[in-house]
Amino acid sequence: MPRSAPTCHLLTIDQKDNLPEKHDGVVRLLHFSDIHIGLHPSLRDLLFTKRILGYLNHLLRRRHRIHAEFLQELAMRLPQLQPDAVLCTGDLSSIGLATEFQAAEKLLEPFLPYNLIYVPGNHDRYVSDGFALDTLRQTFRHCNHGCNDDGSSSGHGLELDTLPAIVTIKGLALILLNPARPVAYHLSCGVLDPAMQARLDALLATIPPETPRAIACHFPPLMPDGSLAGWRHGLRGASFLAEKLTSGEVDAILSGHEHRPFQLELPGGHLQVCAGSLTLAGSYAVCDFPRR
């Protein structure tokens, strides 16, 4: 018997009424992305790194438009929305500073008791120094400490270096991907390399056919018009990932990166969902997966 298609509601933070009611028999994910906490870096942080470009971009385009308070507003809706897990698909920071990650962790605290799951975005892996990577590993561990890659509900949390991995949420298999890596100054893409593709295939092969399944990946492989994400700002290996959706191997791909939200429904009801930026666009998504 084929799996039933998921349903996704794209919402904005100013919609306070008529929130989607949760029905019996669904696994619900509350999904947001791209909070882009941006703090003033020290001069030492900026010298000789890509961060100087990111910081200038932040000053020019984002600084006065980031609404960190939207996180608190969304957290207040948790009892009403009743998610089985909360998914954040990356770009916690603007230029990958330790201070930005610390500020983001604090803002994410109210979501921790609701099974927070986080996958990194390109801004979280902005530069290639080891200190920045260790900081990201710590934040990843902190955010995902309630999740396990074997589907159990307690014990050790996920580690960044073990991705891709499957988290099981009340019967929903959610595969976490991390194609974010430091790239050249003029790029903001992710890279789904052959090793990660092979690992993804191996993980998918372990999921029983009747089990609902989704992929969490910062970079959407498909754009709102159905075209593949580009090489400069999108995802290297987008066609491989998009195929997982068009073939029906997964029911949904949940992403961020694009700051305007969108939802693309493919034949068979398979969904590419981009939650947009919670703090810049005020957008988030509520996704319901029918349980077997």
What's the rounded Cα separation, in Å, for the pair 175 and 111?
A: 20
How many residues would you count in the chain?
A: 292
Tokens 């988030």 sit at which residue?
A: 284
**Minimum distance from CB of 280 to Fe ion (Å)?**
8
Q: Which is nearer to Fe ion, 29 or 88 (CB)?
A: 88
Contact between 91 and Fe ion by CB under 5 A: the answer reads yes
Least CB distance to Fe ion at residue 12 (A): 17
The distance of closest approach from Cβ of residue 36 to Fe ion in the complex, given in angstroms and rounded to an integer, is 6
Q: Which is nearer to Fe ion, 34 or 84 (CB)?
A: 34
Nearer to Fe ion, 141 or 233 (CB): 233
Per DSSP, the residues of the chain read: -PPPPPEEEEEETT--SSPPPPPTTEEEEEEE----B--PPPHHHHTTSTHHHHHHHIIIIITTT--THHHHHHHHTHHHH--SEEEE-S--BSS--HHHHHHHHHHHGGGGGGTEEE---GGGG-S--HHHHHHHHHHHHHHTTT--TTS-SSSS---GGG-SEEEEETTEEEEE--------TT---EE--HHHHHHHHHHHHTS-TTS-EEEE-SS-SB-TTSPBPPTTTSEETHHHHHHHHHTTSSSEEEE-SSSS-EEEEPTTS-EEEE---HHHH-EEEEEEEE--
* Segment near Fe ion (CB under 5 A); pick from 4-12, 31-39, 62-70, 134-142: 31-39
Q: Among residues 38, 83, 120, 121, which is the contact residue for Fe ion, using CB under 5 A?
A: 121
Q: Does 257 bind Fe ion (CB under 5 A)?
A: yes
Among the candidate windows 13-21, 100-108, 224-232, 250-258, which touches Fe ion by CB under 5 A?
A: 250-258
Closest CA to 124 of 107, 136, 137, 112: 136
| Residue 259: CB minimum distance to Fe ion, A | 6
Using rule CB under 5 A, residue 34 touches Fe ion: yes
- Among the listed ranges 6-14, 20-28, 119-127, 143-151, the one in contact with Fe ion (CB under 5 A) is 119-127
CB of 124 to Fe ion, least distance (A): 9
- Number of residues near Fe ion (by CB under 5 A): 5
Give the nearest distance from C-beta 231 to Fe ion in angstroms: 15
Give 84 or 91: the residue with its C-beta nearer to Fe ion.
Answer: 91
**Measured from the CB atom, is 38 or 121 closer to Fe ion?**
121
Minimum separation from the CB atom of position 35 to Fe ion (A): 9
Is residue 122 part of the contact set for Fe ion (CB under 5 A)? yes
Contact residues toward Fe ion (CB under 5 A) are 34, 91, 121-122, 257
